[in-house]
Amino acid sequence: MDLAAKLADVVGAGYVLTGADASEDYSHDETLSAEPVRPAYVVRPATAAEVADLLRVATEANTPVTARGSGSGLSGAAVPRENGILVSFDRMTKVIEIDTDNHVAVVQPGVTLQELEDRTAEVGLVYPVYPGELSASLGGTAATNAGGMRAVKYGVTRHHVLGLEAVLPTGEVLRTGGKFVKASTGYDLTQLIVGSEGTLALITEATLKLQPRVAHQATVLAPFADLDTVVRAVPKVVGSGLAPLILEYIDAMTMGAITYTADLQLGIPDQVRDTSQAYLVVMLENRASDRLDADVEAVGTLLSELGAVDAYVLPGPSARKLIEAREKAFFTAKGAGADEIIDTVLPRASLPQFMAKVTEIAQANESFVVGCGHAGDGNVHLAVFQKDTEKRTATLRGLFEAGMALGGAISGEHGIGHAKKHYFLDLEDPAKIDLMRRIKQAFDPAGILNPGVLFD
């Protein structure tokens, strides 16, 4: 019996696609620089038991397996192997439970952030991880440890995954963690699988921590004369105790592009706009509207003290549009012809030194680099415009080295995947890489799970 027949035995013939039957969608994620790859087989399981059986079949055939949620990743971790199996979770899209007493959601991996947002809103709760792309799947965001704008207050995916059902390549189905925020009962397998980009186990269910949904929000936009003053202001805003929900910097070029694309008028006087090189966006939230008003006033005063040219409280619709436009900054950059996007993370107080290095590195490599970022987290999103592969590689390597020299890491939330693997293997401590390889071996002795991602 050939592999396709064996896989059909597991999931049913209608759910194994080969050749032209498999949509072109399955061949890529959103990574700018990655080449699409058509997998030999697309398999669409419906249950964890089917996932276990298909992994046993794949192990026996020594065939590579790549997991795919919505394909909105930015590191190429969901791009399959040519001779491999792509496991698509587009049939495992059930919200199993919204538990309002324990503040927990239990979901299948194919559930999207939008679906969870809608379902939690009905009961006054929220899953506060907000990577921007609401079509992203929860399995995918767990596998990449997705972050987003609200991480400055609530943390990233890792901080909200309380437990998993995950299948090892040998077909064993594990349950890790549970509906509780803490345990000291053996190694934390949940946290090891989160962010492992499909290389250790396939996630078939996730138990996610929810928060009470906060009723009132307000957004303050502050233009600054220069980027340096903006990034120097960031630690002071975080230190104020006002606990911003969002604290983003946007450079003037990016602000121009995203507001133009979104057809958004912010009502900033021409003279201010023309002399402002960067912006800070601060969103606050509170249970009580009077407390929110007081906090907004406090943040306005603070921003002025920190050198803002002015501070505007955006009306609700403009604020929503600006945040949406910021979320789509990636697509704006893509539309503008960006050749690569990176998301280096570093200590937030080192942002000024890093941004100075960015200018230096861009000039030295004749690249054009603009961006925005989760300033409160020290997570900088940069769009690199440089068609020449060699110069682009040198630019990226320079940026990663500069970030790491300041105590940072290559990726804050997008992951390593294929796209940044060579930088990762090149720049990271070899002893750490070796240890990670041994951990990979502990989960996946045959090496069938996403080979070529993270490691060669």
State which of positions 193-212 bind a copy of itself (CB under 8 A). 194-197, 200, 212
Does residue 367 belong to the site contacting a copy of itself (CB under 8 A)? no
Least separation in angstroms between residue 238's CB and a copy of itself is 7
Site for a copy of itself in 62-81 (CB under 8 A): 75
Cβ at position 453, least distance to a copy of itself in Å: 11
456 binds a copy of itself (CB under 8 A): no
Footprint of a copy of itself on 402-441 (CB under 8 A): 407-416, 424, 428-429, 431-433, 435-436, 438-441
Shortest Å, Cβ 243 to a copy of itself? 8
CA distance 145 to 140: 8
* Nearer residue to a copy of itself within complex by CB, 4 or 95: 95
- Cβ proximity to a copy of itself: between 39 and 163 the closer is 163
176 binds a copy of itself (CB under 8 A): yes
Question: What number of chain residues touch a copy of itself (CB under 8 A)?
Answer: 82
- One of 76, 110, 128, 147 touching a copy of itself (CB under 8 A): 147
Residue 257, phi then psi, degrees to nearest 5? -65, -45
Find the shortest distance in angstroms from Cβ 65 to a copy of itself.
18
Contact pick of 35, 97, 118, 188 for a copy of itself (by CB under 8 A): 188
Among 1, 182, 271, 317, the residue binding a copy of itself under the rule CB under 8 A is 182
Residues 369-408 contacting a copy of itself, CB under 8 A = 377-379, 407-408
Q: Which residue, 187 or 270, has its beta carbon nearer to a copy of itself? A: 187
Query: Smallest distance from the beta carbon of 328 to a copy of itself, in angstroms?
Result: 21
By the rule CB under 8 A, 297 interacts with a copy of itself: no
Residue number, 186 or 317, with CB nearest to a copy of itself: 186
> Which residues lie below 8 Å from residue 233, measured CB to CB, with a gap of 6+?
224, 280, 303, 306, 307, 308
Among 6, 94, 175, 273, binds a copy of itself (CB under 8 A): 175
Segment 210 to 229, residues that bind a copy of itself, using CB under 8 A? 212, 214
Question: Which residues inside 270-289 make contact with a copy of itself, applying CB under 8 A?
Answer: 287
Find where tokens 């993270």 sit. Answer: 454
Nearest distance from C-beta of residue 253 to a copy of itself, angstroms: 25
Does 174 participate in binding a copy of itself (rule CB under 8 A)? yes
Phi-psi region of 197 (alpha: psi -120 to 50; beta: other; left: phi over 0): left
Interface with a copy of itself (CB under 8 A), residue from 6, 91, 179, 422: 179
SS (H, E, C) the chain: CCHHHHHHHHHCHHHEECHHHCCHHHHCCCCCCCCCCCCCEEECCCCHHHHHHHHHHHHHHCCCEEEECCCCCCCCCCCCCCCCEEEECCCCCCEEEEECCCCEEEECCCCEHHHHHHHHHCCCEECCCCCCCCCCEHHHHHHHCCCCCCHHHHCCHHHCEEEEEEECCCCCEEEEECCCCCCCCCCCHHHHHCCCCCCCCEEEEEEEECEECCCEEEEEEEEECCHHHHHHHHHHHHHCCCCCCEEEEEEHHHHHHHHHHHCCCCCCCHHHHHCCCEEEEEEEEECCHHHHHHHHHHHHHHHHHCCCCCCEEECHHHHHHHHHHHHCHHHHHHHCCCCEEECCECCHHHHHHHHHHHHHHHHHCCCEEEEEEEHHHCEEEEEEECCCHHHHHHHHHHHHHHHHHCCCECCCCCCCCCCCHHHHHHHCCHHHHHHHHHHHHHHCCCCCECCCCCCC
In what side-by-side order are the strands of the sheet with 379-385? 312-314, 216-224, 278-286, 246-251, 368-374, 379-385, 340-342
Selected binder of a copy of itself within 192, 264, 266, 356 (CB under 8 A): 192
Kindly write out the interface string for residues 14-53 of this chain, putting x where it contacts a copy of itself by CB under 8 A and - elsewhere. ----------------------------------------
Which of 28, 29, 32, 30 is CA-nearest to residue 340?
32
By the rule CB under 8 A, 145 interacts with a copy of itself:
yes
Q: Give min distance, CB of 336 to a copy of itself, in A.
A: 25
Residues numbered 94 to 123 that lie near a copy of itself (CB under 8 A) are 99-104
Closest CB 154 distance from a copy of itself, rounded Å: 10
Q: Which of 14, 19, 239, 317 binds a copy of itself (CB under 8 A)?
A: 239
> Cβ 218 to a copy of itself, closest distance in Å?
17
Q: Considering only residues 332-351, where is the footprint of a copy of itself by CB under 8 A? A: 345-349
